Structure 1
């Protein structure tokens, strides 16, 4: 059997979650919005005295419109971030070509301000510049890393898919629940779904599960209460 040197340091593997930020944010937002918005439509229309078929059609229409809206909004938003990153990349590329000495001095100053001795900061800046000057400036000067880069298409697809999955919950309750119990069943199922969604999102992101679950559940309950109130105020069959 091979023997390891006595002074060998075992490799330490760390699990970080920053690479999940882009799709996780879009997925959590989409799922919660799908559950709350479509549930609000179903509960509000059902509370007004509408027929079961009207409630179901309203829920399906809300799913389609909401998924498209979430995808479009997420794409435009994240694309704006991607455009800003691309502009910064172009500026840094040009400055590295035209003013390499100034860029090296700027990088040295950054490392000095972070606590390195000036001589060591200069040495680190030179070595990192020789390896990949552009990536070094993007990361240490602008805070742009590959893990956190804007990915518009990924965010749009994740948001739309998550919205659809979330919206299927209130639609399923509309189909399965007795007509006179749609409001009650949908409300209970929605709160359960929101608690589960918040807990899973917190777990994936490394946050306390119970805190994430109750945070999402609370605001979902407020939305459901508001929707039911509107439906009862305008107690009119559609």
Structure 2
């Protein structure tokens, strides 16, 4: 007797929504907070001023990330719902034309016309709106917009990221605080890039390098601006 061996595959596309928001939030938390602290420190601010600035930046950034992500993703969700409502109306008014449209999609993908119409028949009988949403509009359960999830993930990850350079500021000697914030923030960014690449199935070194490079650039520019303004003052 022959047994069928089930091939189990592990895909990462279901992580796209929360992974993108989490990585964006953590990266922005580290980069913006570290850059803010370095810029203020370069302007010869006191250690207490740095701590207050860092805390204010953490809270403001977390709220901004949550609100921005919610509004952005909600706009995407509104667009998806509008497209689904239109598709639902078209299915109700002219199902035959919608059947032909769905079959043509499969034909263009390489399916024979006869089989394409059979597939369209069966899928529309099972879930007409879901079939058109997936194959015509590109809307799926995996990639659908989730505003609240994205907002919470962004805010939480921003706080986690921002807390790292702020913690360094607490413990670093005042005379070398800029050095330690910059150094440790680059380490944090490299680790974040590597973890995100690993979770997404991408190349770890490239992910780490990409995040670290742009973080270093942001901190360098902010330090330069802070020093210039500090010199003017």
Cα displacement (A) at 1:156: 0.3
Counterpart of 2:84 in structure 1 is: 89
Residue 123 of structure 1 is aligned with which of 118, 121, 139? 118
Residue 154 of structure 2 is aligned with which of 154, 159, 167? 159
Cα displacement (A) at 1:96: 1.0
Counterpart of 2:217 in structure 1 is: 222
Residue deviations 1:13-39, cap 9 Å, x none? Answer: 111111111111111110000000000
Cα displacement (A) at 1:158: 0.3
- Name the stretch that deviates more: 55-64 or 90-99: 90-99
Cα displacement (A) at 1:228: 1.3
Counterpart of 1:19 in structure 2 is: 14
Counterpart of 1:143 in structure 2 is: 138
Cα displacement (A) at 1:235: 2.2
8 Å contact kept, 1:49–1:237: no
| Cα distance in 1 for residues equivalent to 2:119 and 2:178 | 64
Residue 53 of structure 1 is aligned with which of 42, 48, 53? 48
TM-score of the superposed pair, with normalisation by structure 2: 0.98
Cα displacement (A) at 1:237: 10
Counterpart of 1:200 in structure 2 is: 195
Q: State the superposition RMSD in angstroms.
A: 1.2
Counterpart of 1:212 in structure 2 is: 207
| Cα distance in 1 for residues equivalent to 2:113 and 2:39 | 65
Residue 178 of structure 1 is aligned with which of 156, 162, 173? 173
4+ aligned runs moved over 3 Å, structure 1: none
Counterpart of 1:28 in structure 2 is: 23
Aligned residues: 233
Cα displacement (A) at 1:236: 5.6
Counterpart of 2:108 in structure 1 is: 113
Structure 2 unaligned regions, length at least 5: none
2:25 is paired with a residue whose SS is: helix
Residue deviations 1:175-203, cap 9 Å, x none? Answer: 10011111000000100000000010001
TM-score of the superposed pair, with normalisation by structure 1: 0.96
Counterpart of 2:39 in structure 1 is: 44
Residue deviations 1:82-119, cap 9 Å, x none? Answer: 00000011111111111111110111111111111111
1:105 is paired with a residue whose SS is: helix
| Cα distance in 2 for residues equivalent to 1:14 and 1:84 | 32
Cα displacement (A) at 1:9: 2.1
| Cα distance in 2 for residues equivalent to 1:90 and 1:54 | 53
